[in-house]
Structure 1
């Protein structure tokens, strides 16, 4: 599968990821041979990230930006624009995006968070930490939030939320599984709908 081929006339998307890349792979597969969206690039900040192998297996180019390179966010934005990237999807990307970079892609950076913001968000709230906190707080519901990105963690405008119930016998592990199912089902669809809405304005 080469998601980056034959996409010259499509809307270019870069997917940022820091870890294993299950959401990133889901995005790549969903938009493979899509009629107007093309995943042009995977961006990682960790050279050992599992997402790199996933992307290479699916034929999508990978670019790793180091902490030193992120000191010059406008240069990174310029690199992405030179690759015809118009939208950015954060799929488990743990680095805070600099304000200078956000300005270059204003309203075009989308993140997914595995909880119902504004609760259980902010620095350090990622992965199993979130589901453990939800469990410890004895919540009866959890879910996903898809939102635009600003200069703070998990603080941008919410564009979509989906709720799932937490049962008495649920554990942090089963809560995580429920949330992952929501991510897999809804994240690509919401990205698609958001991009379609923006480009039609």
Structure 2
């Protein structure tokens, strides 16, 4: 089976760039962006990836928005849907259950859930003064930052480090964790039982 993914994004496309850079023999079948004026769209075009703009604000509710995403995805072949900084809720159909992956810039279940994304996460981490942060790759369910955890990577934090410093540290972990998790999925190394992800050799 071809190693192929679909990507949902809302921003700069740096996660998409990292995936393209780190994973060999990978086809990105399609990119869907929830915003039309973001760099991620240009990254897709630069790499000759079909790109569709589906804006949440142009749809009366999340179900209509989600329906348009699903209809677009159905035109393409892929093994996994990868959320790469996608900031809208996608009410996906059952056929995509355990077929969508996301990365969160903190160690779930801390600093996660609705409203926790991007620099907002790192500012809260800084305010709380925690000594460890990191990133979490998980499969997506119908709750924010809630599905089965695939990989977590952590880093120690110093008291003098500011939110921007924390963000840089965590993104370095993300650059390793997401390609690793995507490869595990595409190579059929993951088994999910009772909300736990087992990784085979």
- Assess if the C-alpha contact under 8 Å between 2:152 and 2:177 holds in 1: no
Q: How far off is 1:74 after superposition? A: 4.6
- Tell me what 1:25 maps to: 17
* CA–CA distance in structure 1, aligned partners of residues 88 and 114 of structure 2: 10
- Partner of 1:82, secondary structure, is coil
Q: How far off is 1:71 after superposition? A: 0.4
Query: Is 1:133 equivalent to 2:124 in the alignment?
Result: yes
Which of 133, 141, 161 is the aligned partner of 1:150? 141
Query: Is 1:97 equivalent to 2:97 in the alignment?
Result: no
TM score, norm. by length of structure 2: 0.86
- Tell me what 1:57 maps to: 46
Which of 72, 81, 87 is the aligned partner of 1:88? 81
Query: Is 1:186 equivalent to 2:177 in the alignment?
Result: yes
* CA–CA distance in structure 2, aligned partners of residues 121 and 24 of structure 1: 22
Q: How many residues align?
A: 188
* CA–CA distance in structure 2, aligned partners of residues 144 and 77 of structure 1: 27
- Tell me what 2:32 maps to: 43
Q: How far off is 1:85 after superposition? A: 2.3
- Tell me what 2:106 maps to: 115
Q: How far off is 1:84 after superposition? A: 0.7
Q: How far off is 1:193 after superposition? A: 0.9
Query: Can you list the C-alpha shifts for 1:6-52, whole angstroms capped at 9, x where unaligned?
Result: xxx513211111011111111123335x1xx4211111010011100
Q: How far off is 1:77 after superposition? A: 2.4
> Structure 1 20/81 Cα, relative in aligned 2: closer, same or farther at 3 Å?
same
- Consecutive unaligned residues of structure 1, counting only runs of 5 or more, are 1-8
- Tell me what 1:5 maps to: none
- Tell me what 2:3 maps to: 11
- Assess if the C-alpha contact under 8 Å between 2:14 and 2:40 holds in 1: yes
* CA–CA distance in structure 1, aligned partners of residues 79 and 70 of structure 2: 10
* CA–CA distance in structure 2, aligned partners of residues 75 and 133 of structure 1: 34
> Structure 1 102/156 Cα, relative in aligned 2: closer, same or farther at 3 Å?
farther
* CA–CA distance in structure 2, aligned partners of residues 30 and 39 of structure 1: 13
* CA–CA distance in structure 1, aligned partners of residues 11 and 68 of structure 2: 24
- Tell me what 2:162 maps to: 171
